[in-house]
Amino acid sequence: MTANDNTQPQHPKRSGSQKRVRVRRIPVACDDQEFLQIDDRAREVGLSRPSFLRACGLGTSGPRARRSPTVNAEALARATAALNKAGSNLNQIAHVLNAGGAGLTTRECFAALAETRMAAAAIREIVGHKDKP
């Protein structure tokens, strides 16, 4: 670029969130324990890691800071395990039905279906989706 050149430097095309002036990055090395602490603390206050670190360093997370969705990981793990168990039960029922259906009652089929629906509803509730009445 010469002294008489009025053109602006060309930047590579950026995503919508990166069109503002935040183009400088600060790589920070940390060990596994430090990373987990930063991640946990960011999640506790509902911010992404970059927004959390900006808030720690500058006192503000900045405009349009990304909020992290709050998900109870433990409850989600339990609900997912329940759904896996229900799916296993449904698979066993399908196997019995494909083999002729001997010894399988309608009550067992409906119980497995209800178990599956309850587990799926629990997962939807944990991730913030409401069931329609």
Give the pLDDT score at 78: 82
User: Which residues 6+ apart lie within 8 Å of 28 measured at CB?
Assistant: 53
* Residue-range domain boundaries for the chain: 30-70, 73-126
Entry pTM:
0.41
The pair of structure tokens assigned to 114 is: 């209800």
Contact by Cβ (8 Å): 119, 83: yes
Task: Summarize pLDDT for 12-53 with one digit per residue, the tens.
Answer: 555 555 556 778 888 889 999 999 999 888 888 878 888 888
Neighbours of 52 (CB within 10 A): 22
Task: Summarize pLDDT for 58-104 with one digit per residue, the tens.
Answer: 887 766 655 655 567 777 888 888 888 888 888 888 888 888 877 77
